[in-house]
Amino acid sequence: MVTLGFGRGQKYLSLRWSYVEWLPPPGRRMWAVEPPQVSPAAVDPLGAELIQQGIASLKVLIVDDSVSMRMIVKRTLRQAGFEGLSFTEAGDGAEALEQIRKSAPELVLSDWNMPKMSGLELLKALRAENLPVKFGFVTTEGSADMRALAKQNGAQFLIAKPFTPESFERALRPVIG
């Protein structure tokens, strides 16, 4: 699997892809010499560190009906120091559910109020299907009642809009390490 990252982490991940292409098919020897053994740390110490932290290869699905807000969430994640994540996006809960079934992201950051299927309906659908993806809300619905409802249905955290990079840092570090 290839995961596109940002910044220096991408360099290492591209090399991994090259390595996969060099592997000969079963029963055939295509190379006279062994493919080079590339140490991630030798190529890119930061990339290796991110991999070790479990951050570089983390697939994040951002669900929001506002295109701008999806962009702002990505920007804020970078500002909070979460570089090297790979992002996919969905404009509502129904679209997100399809994507999660197909590509199994590790983390979903979802708005609450959306057309077609709300964030809460999405979360309930995921739990009903036993899809164990980590899930957090990024929403204007920040009241104590809504936070309790989110937690009761299996959300790991709720970040209230408007937010700061520190909001993401506080909410996400305990979840993704």
Partner 1 sequence: MSRFVLPEGYQLRHHFEMLFGNGVAVHAGDKLGADAPFCGIYRDDAKAPVGLCLCDMSFAAYAGAALSMMMPGDAKLAAQKGPLPEVMRANLYEVMNILSSLLMNEHTPHLKLVELCSPPALDASIKAIAKNPEAHMSFKVELPRYGAGQITFALT
What residues line the site for partner 1 (CB under 8 A)? 66-69, 71-72, 113, 140-145, 160-164
What six digits make up the tokens of 55?
């951050």
Smallest gap, in angstroms, from Cβ of residue 160 to partner 1? 7
Identify which of residues 128 and 144 has a Cβ nearer to partner 1 in the complex. Answer: 144
**Backbone phi and psi for residue 136, each to the nearest 5 degrees, phi listed first:** -140, 150
Identify which of residues 44 and 92 has a Cβ nearer to partner 1 in the complex. Answer: 92
Which residue, among 39, 31, 72, has the nearest Cα to 168 in the 3D structure? 72
Question: Does residue 162 have a cis bond before it (omega within 30 degrees)?
Answer: yes
Element (H, E) at 63: strand 59-63
Smallest gap, in angstroms, from Cβ of residue 66 to partner 1? 4
Amino acid at 30: M
Identify which of residues 52 and 140 has a Cβ nearer to partner 1 in the complex. Answer: 140
Smallest gap, in angstroms, from Cβ of residue 13 to partner 1? 28
